[in-house]
């Protein structure tokens, strides 16, 4: 499992913009872009988000997630979505 730890931690990055290179800096989160494990790790991370929700609907596709619900009162919808987002954040 050391390879997996090395895959996620102690990584650095340099940005190339119009031929100018940034200083090297340490990454503190994320998965290497374009990696084969990236999509799998994202699915494992986000897959059980539905379990936290009580009234909102959810659509998940690739790396996009949308919470939504319907109602007649905008204030009530806003309040319910705020509560749902707080659950997701926890």
Do 52 and 34 lie in a common domain? no
Per-residue pLDDT, averaged over 60-83, amounts to 89
Do 59 and 82 lie in a common domain? yes
Do 52 and 83 lie in a common domain? yes
Do 66 and 32 lie in a common domain? no
Do 41 and 61 lie in a common domain? no
Do 42 and 65 lie in a common domain? no
Residue 70 corresponds to which tokens in the numbers above? 């319907």
Per-residue pLDDT, averaged over 20-25, amounts to 95
Domain that holds residue 71: 48-89
Do 42 and 52 lie in a common domain? no
**Whether the predicted pLDDT of 62 surpasses 90:** no
Predicted structure pTM score: 0.57
pLDDT digits (tens, 9 = 90+) for 26-43: 988 888 878 888 888 888
Give the percent of the chain with pLDDT over 90: 34
Instruction: For residue 65, name the pLDDT band (cuts at 50, 70, 90).
Output: confident
Do 33 and 62 lie in a common domain? no
């Amino acid at each position: 499992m050391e390879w997996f730890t090395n895959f996620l931690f102690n990584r650095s990055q340099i940005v190339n913009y119009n031929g100018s290179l940034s200083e090297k800096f340490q990454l503190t989160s994320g998965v290497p872009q374009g990696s084969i494990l990236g999509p799998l790790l994202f699915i494992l991370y986000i897959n059980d988000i539905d379990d936290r929700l009580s009234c909102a609907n959810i659509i998940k596709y690739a790396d996009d997630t949308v919470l939504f619900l319907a109602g007649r009162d905008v204030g009530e919808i806003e309040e319910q979505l705020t509560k749902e987002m707080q659950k997701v954040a926890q």
